[in-house]
């Protein structure tokens, strides 16, 4: 019986992992389909190239990637061209601003799913523009750093060299703590204007810097602190619920919280 119980637990765990993996694959496939509208050749379509890199990093099979490109560019079967990029805005517990990007082929369904998630976790789906002004859309490139203690000085030298050589203006950088990184090696995120993602990525690449990924991200301009553990946990559950929706591409918030509260 003990072996049976262990096997049942393994199957349940695997089912959860497979479901999450499938949701990620679906999300990335839609991103590729939308990007492929501008052309099926990644060499001449930076948005598509970025989407493909993200998909490969997540382990999406090449066959899935090729199929999504074909659908989006009108070369294959399916209605990938019907997906559109939509932004939703709302409030979480304690007035936390929440901004959601989605790929959807049915706005009514997506809005209903989001409204339910917000209301179930103490938030409220708002009107377009209600919190968007609190965020700025920026370009971000994630870099690997050398292990030496002087890595911040090294990074600053590289960024100054990038600007001196005619590269885009760097708006800031952040050294990532181990908990923020996907690996045990030191990493950093470099930020530039929204329109400069390709120039930033290519400039850093030409300098031979080890790039891990790049993306556009909504950056909050001011934080909303939550000091009540109950409100904080409710807000975290809301963000998790939103990220778990099939149509959701990304979730950003201006939540600020003490890490000790988050571990409770």
- pLDDT single digits (tens) 106-144: 999 999 999 999 999 999 999 999 999 999 999 999 988
In tens, the pLDDT along 218-235 reads: 999 999 998 888 999 999
Domain 135-220 CATH assignment equals 3.20.20.70: no
Specify whether the CB–CB gap between 193 and 167 falls below 8 A.
no
The domain spans of the chain are 2-81, 83-131+224-262, 135-220
Query: What pLDDT is stored for residue 27 in this prediction?
Result: 83
**Long-range CB contacts (< 8 A, 24+ apart) of 80-88?**
80/30, 80/33, 80/34, 80/36, 81/33, 81/37, 83/30, 83/33, 83/34, 84/34, 85/34, 85/249, 86/110, 87/128, 87/132, 88/114, 88/125, 88/128
CATH fold of the domain at 2-81: Arc Repressor Mutant, subunit A (1.10.10)
Q: For helices 197-206 and 46-57, what crossing angle results, to 10°?
A: 70
pTM of the model: 0.77
Is-same-fold flag (2-81; 83-131+224-262)?
no
Mean pLDDT of 26-48: 86
Q: Give the residue carrying structure tokens 């885009």.
A: 168
Specify whether the CB–CB gap between 140 and 180 falls below 8 A.
no
CATH fold of the domain at 83-131+224-262: Alpha-Beta Plaits (3.30.70)
Q: What letter would DSSP give residue 189?
A: E
Neighbouring C-beta atoms of residue 257, cutoff 10 Å: 21
């Amino acid at each position: 019986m003990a072996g049976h119980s262990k096997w049942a637990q393994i199957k349940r765990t695997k089912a959860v992992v497979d479901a999450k993996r499938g949701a990620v694959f679906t999300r990335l496939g839609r991103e590729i389909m939308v990007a492929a509208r501008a052309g099926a050749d990644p060499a001449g379509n930076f948005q598509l190239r970025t989407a493909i890199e993200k998909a490969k990093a997540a382990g999406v099979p090449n066959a899935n990637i090729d199929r999504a490109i074909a659908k989006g560019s009108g070369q294959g079967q399916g209605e990938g061209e019907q997906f559109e990029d939509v932004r939703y805005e709302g409030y979480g517990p304690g007035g936390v601003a929440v901004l959601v990007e989605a790929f959807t082929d049915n706005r009514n369904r997506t809005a209903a799913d989001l409204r339910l998630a917000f209301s179930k976790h103490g938030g409220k789906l708002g009107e377009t523009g209600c919190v968007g002004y609190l965020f700025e859309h920026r370009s971000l490139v994630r870099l690997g750093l050398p292990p030496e203690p002087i890595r911040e000085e090294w990074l600053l030298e590289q960024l100054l060299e990038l600007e001196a050589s005619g590269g885009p203006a760097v708006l800031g950088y952040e050294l990532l703590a181990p908990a923020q990184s996907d690996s045990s090696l030191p990493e950093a995120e470099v930020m530039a204007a929204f329109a400069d993602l390709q120039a930033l990525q290519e400039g850093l690449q030409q300098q031979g810097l080890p790039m891990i990924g790049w993306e556009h991200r909504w950056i909050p301009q001011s934080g909303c602190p939550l000091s009540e553990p109950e409100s904080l946990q409710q807000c975290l559950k809301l963000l998790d619920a939103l990220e778990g929706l099939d149509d959701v591409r990304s979730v950003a918030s201006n939540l600020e919280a003490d890490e000790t509260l988050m571990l409770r």
